[in-house]
């Protein structure tokens, strides 16, 4: 098979480390970059390096931050009595995107998953317990995914904190808005049925 010049082959190779990028996409991306202006490519590479250099974890909640506290922890309007526990910063953003929740967060940095070698010690649970002691938190909303790992993690944390006199809740499970019963999986229907509520 014919080869491109070395620097182009190298770029195509490096691009294939990106998720969902195979040889064909990598080649298309490489040719795009080859044709793009120098400014455009410099802006992209600089943005990549800046993210690596600047992004840190919030020293309080573990959310993404650029040094010190994250934007949410720095916001005095957030309700410090509510603490929403999520697995990742992306889950946090999904909660924020819904616009409903106005309390604080705690980012675990993952879920308990023995098969992946992730136990409670790898998660930010010690810092969660410390916050429950130091901060005026009244309700903990365990917002891990309704999956095996998410349920196990919520159960584990609930076992530790259930005797601390806090309200501990979990996001409701049921039919997503706009769902079609016909195409909904049996587990979700079972859960929606057992959690049914009066109109």
β-bridge pairing 64-65 and 79-86: unpaired
Cβ neighbour number for residue 107 with a 10 Å cutoff: 25
Cα–Cα–Cα angle for 38, 40, 46, nearest 5°? 95
- CB neighbour class for 151 (10 Å; exposed up to 12, middle 13-18, buried from 19): middle
Q: Which of 22, 23, 32, 190 binds a second copy (CB under 8 A)?
A: 32
70 alpha carbon, distance to own chain's centre? 15
Q: What is the pattern of x (binds a second copy, CB under 8 A) and - over residues 79-118?
A: ----------xx--x--xx---------------------
Least separation in angstroms between CB 32 and a second copy:
5
Q: Which of 22, 36, 81, 130 binds a second copy (CB under 8 A)?
A: 36
Using the rule CB under 8 A, is 77 a contact of a second copy?
A: no
Give whichever of 43 and 187 is closer to a second copy, judged by the CB atom: 43
DSSP label of 176: P
Give the integer Cα–Cα distance in Å for 108 and 120. Answer: 9
Least separation in angstroms between CB 31 and a second copy:
7
Which residues lie near a second copy (CB under 8 A)?
Answer: 1-8, 10-11, 13-15, 17-20, 25, 28-34, 36, 38, 40-45, 47-52, 54-55, 64-66, 70-71, 89-90, 93, 96-97
């Amino acid at each position: 098979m014919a080869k491109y010049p070395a620097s182009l082959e190298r770029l195509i190779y490096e691009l294939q480390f990106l998720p969902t990028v195979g040889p064909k996409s990598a080649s298309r991306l490489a040719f795009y970059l080859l044709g793009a202006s120098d400014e455009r490519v410099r802006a992209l590479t600089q943005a990549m390096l800046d993210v690596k250099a600047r992004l840190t974890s919030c020293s309080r909640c573990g959310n993404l931050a650029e040094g010190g506290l994250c934007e949410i922890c720095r916001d005095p309007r957030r309700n410090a009595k509510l603490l929403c526990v999520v697995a990742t910063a992306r889950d946090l953003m999904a909660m924020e995107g819904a616009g409903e929740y106005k309390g604080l967060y705690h980012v675990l940095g993952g879920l308990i998953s023995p098969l992946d070698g992730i136990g409670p010690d790898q998660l930010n649970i010690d810092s969660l317990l410390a916050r429950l002691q130091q901060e005026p938190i009244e309700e903990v909303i365990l917002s891990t995914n309704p999956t095996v790992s998410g349920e196990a993690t919520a159960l584990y944390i609930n076992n530790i904190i259930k005797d601390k006199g806090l309200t501990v809740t979990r996001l409701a499970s049921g039919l997503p808005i706009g769902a079609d019963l016909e195409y909904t999986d049996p587990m979700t229907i079972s859960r929606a049925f057992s959690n049914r509520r009066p109109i």
